[in-house]
Amino acid sequence: MKMNIIHFDKLNSTNAYGLEHFEELSHGDVITTDIQLKGRGRFDRVWSGDFSDDIYMSIIIKPDNSDFPFPNLTQYLSVVTNRVLNRDYVIKSNIKWPNDILFEGKKLAGILSEGKIINGRLAGVVLGIGINVNREVFDDLPNAISLKNITGKENDKNILIETILKEFESGYAEFATDGFLSIMEEYRMMCRFNGGKLKLTASFNDGDYVFERINSDGTISVRDERNDIHKIISGDIQC
């Protein structure tokens, strides 16, 4: 996989750009922007910034195998990103299932993948990530934190982008064939469930549960108050 960065000073959304230009873009192209005016988050949240200090990027993925593990792609990127943050910035960030990157419960990075359907079939995805790098103040986002807030110093966002992309590329072939199993052990170590109690929203079975396990397909199993086990495929958790 050859990764090729296409940079803009300002875009509405790197994901939207990737989807609009999907056909002319190649597998491995990476859209980045300094300023993102109408960034999209999971569950219709907003992810924008005009500080030019943070990372907004989207990777174009056009798999050539029909059994490509699309559902686990955001988890793959979360492991790669968290690995770089833990190793190179020596911070104890972790993953909140399925793919948020948190530091002491506050959000440091978010990931959103959006599929591109062409002629009725999934042709690929635009895999977007936003990382709070050098922003210091989050007025209306009390639950957000930046790398600068954590490390106390400015960090070169281009070095962080390049390191993440290098790491993404190096494990990609194995992920494309083996799927979640290629990252399962590392993902399980990085995932935090804070004692086990969790509140599930944006899913079919919203409610309060106790965490049981991370399954070998990247889903989680949770236990309700009657001790029934539920397998959760998607959703948002507070824990």
Using CB under 6 A, list all residues that contact ligand BTN.
13-15, 39-42, 45, 47, 56-58, 100, 110-112, 128-130
Nearer to ligand BTN, 66 or 77 (CB): 77
DSSP code per residue over 191-224: B--TTSEEEEESSTT-EEEEEEEE-TTS-EEEE-
Q: How far is the CB of 229 from ligand BTN (least distance, A)?
A: 27
Yes or no: say if 155 and 134 are a contact pair by the CB < 8 Å rule.
yes
Give the shortest CB-224-to-ligand BTN separation in angstroms: 26
Least gap, CB of 139 to ligand BTN (angstroms): 18
* CB 56, min distance to ligand BTN, A: 4
Shortest Å distance, C-beta 177 to ligand BTN:
26
Indicate the residue type of 234.
Answer: S
Residues 203-221, buried b or exposed e (16+ Cβ, 10 A)?
eeeeeebebbebeeebbbe
Q: Which of 165, 138, 179, 133 is nearest to 46 (CA)?
A: 138
Q: Please identify, using beta-carbon distances, which residue of 41 and 71 lies nearer to ligand BTN.
A: 41
Q: 8 vs 223, which CB is nearer to ligand BTN? A: 8
Token pair for residue 44?
A: 């219709």
Q: Which is nearer to ligand BTN, 48 or 215 (CB)?
A: 48
Closer by beta carbon to ligand BTN, 14 or else 155: 14
Q: Would you say the C-alpha torsion 123, 121, 77, 10 has a positive or negative sign?
A: positive
